[in-house]
Structure 1
Amino acid sequence: MTTMNMETTIIPLVTDEQKQAEEIWRKSIPAQVFLNYFFAINYHIQEADDAMGGLQHLPFFRAHQAELTEADVQAITKLLHASWSTEYALRATAELGDEDYLRNALHWTFPQAYHTIMAGLQAFLYTAGVRSNNPSLIRREVGRLVVRNAYPRPISFYAAGAYGDFSIHRLPLAGYKAGLHIASKEIDAQAQIGQFLRTTRKLKAQATRQQVQANPNTALRSQKTGKVLDKWTAAHWQQITWRLGYTTIFDLLGRLRISQTSREIERFVEAEIDFKLFHQSLLNIVSYLNGIHETYVAKAMGLERYQQVVAELPKHLQNSFVQERLHTRVEPQLRDNEPTMRMAA
């Protein structure tokens, strides 16, 4: 009897293709989490929003008025034009782009989404008496406005407190553990927004500590040796909490400011995520926030004067999303109101 040595074929449990797919997924996780955050914000807005954006229910909005000179109106108009032109560019990218184009467009769509909202915010702040382009001042003032309920419920959430002891407000489900998947329920969305607030506030606290400790005049020192402290206790973190202000949706949007040369942007470009969904989420958030700021500006300026600003738009902005928001968001909330602008001498 002859025996034949048969070569046994061993089938690996994990193929090279599977390993590669797993590696791509692992590398994509940070980008996926970032997408989840913005999808969650958009989901939360869509779930909670009413047709007009919820401003009409806010005492802060009803009381909002301003005394504006013609020069003020021109300054506000300039800010609005900056906001609208940037949003126009952002929308053009989303409309023109296929998946690959949108992937590489992140280099400019991230900052565009941030800057269009910031310009609109500055226009609103101008009518509220805050006339500055200092980012720290703007951040502080808008944080206060969020806490004072100047914004509708879907975006009125914020984080406060010292490092290691953050508290999340106006997001009752934020304490739940955030998953790695796109939100399909309100609990998922709030958990992910809560996590985004905490991580963003943590980064801000760490950056503030670094800034404070790098300055000999502000650095916290050892009471025994007088040397700058390397290790901090909860009490030390508490001492810089006042510098943090509140962490709001505007801080979350600030995370979009990733420079074109940053290695972090490459991590997103190379990731396997749904770029169309990312852009759509960003666009929806942009449109929602810009609509709120436009309504505040129109109330301060007077609806008729605001309609005139829109009627005199540059050619590329005529018959666009600006008019659409005027008709669907701004006019319904102001049509029955008396114009509140008093032209100053």
Structure 2
Amino acid sequence: METPIIPLVTEEQKQAEETWRKSIPAQVFLNHFFAINYHIQQADDAMGGLQHLPYFRAHQAELAETDLPALTKLLHACWSTEYALRATAELGDEDYLRNALHWTFPQAYHTITAGLQAFLYTTGVRGNNPALIRREVGRLVVRNAYPRPVSFYAAGAHGDFSIHRLPLAGYKAGLQIAGKEIDAQAQIGQFLRTTRTIKAKATRLQVQANPNTALRSQKTGKVLDKWTAAHWQEITWRLGYTTIFDLLGRLRISQTSREIERFVEADIDFTLFHQSLLNIVGYLNGIHETYVAKAMGLERYQQLVAELPRHLQNSFVEERLRTRVAPQLNTQETPVLRMAA
């Protein structure tokens, strides 16, 4: 009787390997956000670190009573979206959280953006143009308006990027969840580089598609197909800085796109993904809330929180006010809002 041949690799093993291979892009994405959260947790102090920043101590705003409705509207949008994001995390088991990515990705992005707009409003930047917001927050990050854990950024031309305020970012990023600060910084560095590369290539396409801005051959006058380092350098000013807010912008994935399906079908830890997102959201929203409270005055901000809609009362908003916002402002001078004439 012929001895049956036992394959070295079973069909189940092949299937598992294929699933793992398909999961790699999603795993890398999870790693990046886990790394950001890890980096924040390692470096964060109890209150968020703003009180050490000269920019924060000097932050003042020319706000009138007439500005309060606009600020309140932005904060309500920020908090209601965070409320929805938190509700998903609390309700969901692994399968639910897997499918919830269709809305939790954009929710995480939009809650942070609304809070950021409220902060920018106090600096005199009014409007919701994404390019304007991106440019202004990039400048604020570089000017040290944000605590160390989220003050990192990338600059420079395509092929010659420099990473700032992440001293370990040059190390090779692994495929594993960060277990040490060196792993976290390496993965954040990789995320910054890939995100800036995407931005650089998109900018090149945009520039070259416009006859008025396209770079041309000096000999023939034709639009250039091939670029040298010097050509990339010419458009670098258009890129601005690449910051944590650009990384969060990668969450804006259309729910109809193929990319979101890759995440939904991937074999990754969705609970960990949501927890990382929630922690990043809470940290950044807390920073923006503190700036807004400093601009309008702690007492007026406390009143705003006390008058929140029912679903936001006695919630994370009040907790952050008590544990993060108020402690950093109690030593500051309280501004007085100018009454409208």
Which category describes the TM-score, using the shorter chain as reference length? over 0.9
TM-score (normalised: structure 2): 0.99
Q: CA deviation at 1:338?
A: 1.9
Q: Does 1:328 align with 2:327?
A: no
Determine which of 227, 234, 238 is the counterpart of 2:229: 234
**One of 318, 323, 333 as aligned partner of 1:338:** 333
Pick the structure with greater CA Rg.
1
Alignment of 1:60 with 2:55, yes or no, is: yes
1:14 shift after superposition: 0.6
Runs of 4+ more than 4 Å apart: none
SS at match of 1:209: helix
Which of 295, 309, 312 matches 1:300?
295
1:98 offset after TM fit, Å?
Answer: 0.4
The 5 Å alignment of 1:38-57 reads 38-57=33-52
Structure 2 match to 1:143? 138
SS in 2 for 1:85: helix
Aligned-residue offset at 1:344: 5.1
Per-residue CA deviations over 1:157-199 (Å, capped at 9, x if unaligned) read 0000000000000000000000000000000000000000000
CA distance in 2 between counterparts of 1:10 and 1:127 reads 73
- 2:154 aligned counterpart, secondary structure: strand
Contact 1:258 1:264 in 2 (8 A): yes
1:1-345 aligned at under 5 Å gives the runs: 6-343=1-338, 345=340
- Name the SS of the counterpart of 2:42 in structure 1: helix
Deviation at 1:342, TM superposition (A): 3.9
Question: Hey, what's the Cα distance between the residues in 2 that align with 1:236 and 1:344?
Answer: 52
String of CA shifts for 1:4-30, please: whole Å, max 9, x gaps: xx2021111110000000000000000
Name the CA distance, whole Å, in 1 between partners of 2:2 and 2:336: 89
| Deviation digits for residues 48-101 of structure 1 (CA, Å, limit 9, x no counterpart) | 000010000000000001111112111111000000000000000000000000
1:160 partner amino acid: A
Q: Which SS does the other structure have where 2:300 is aligned?
A: helix
The TM-score, its normalising length taken from structure 1, stands at 0.98
The answer (yes or no) to whether the contact 2:65–2:337 under 8 Å persists in 1 is: no
SS in structure 2 at match of 1:42:
helix
SS at match of 1:221: coil
- Give the conservation status (yes or no) of the 8 Å contact 2:154–2:164: yes
Check the 8 A contact 2:152/2:166 in 1, yes or no. yes
Contact kept in structure 2, 1:65 and 1:300, CA below 8 Å? yes
Q: Which letter does structure 2 place at the counterpart of 1:52?
A: M
Instruction: State the 1:114 CA deviation.
Output: 0.1
- Supply the AA of the counterpart residue of 1:322: V
Structure 1: 5+ residue stretches without partners: 1-5
C-alpha contact (below 8 Å) 2:60/2:295 kept by paired residues: yes
Q: Identity rate of aligned residues, in percent?
A: 88
Contact 1:110 1:256 in 2 (8 A): yes
Distance 1:261 1:38 in 2: 22
How well do the aligned residues superpose, as a CA RMSD in angstroms?
0.7
* Partner SS state of residue 242, structure 2: coil
Asked if the contact 1:65–1:341 (Cα under 8 Å) also holds between the matched residues in 2, the reply is no
CA displacement 1:293-337 (0-9 Å, x = unmatched): 000000000000000100000011000000000000000011222
Unpaired segments ≥5 residues, structure 2 = none
- Residues 231-279 of structure 1: CA deviation (Å, up to 9, x unaligned): 0000000000000000000000000000111110000000000000000
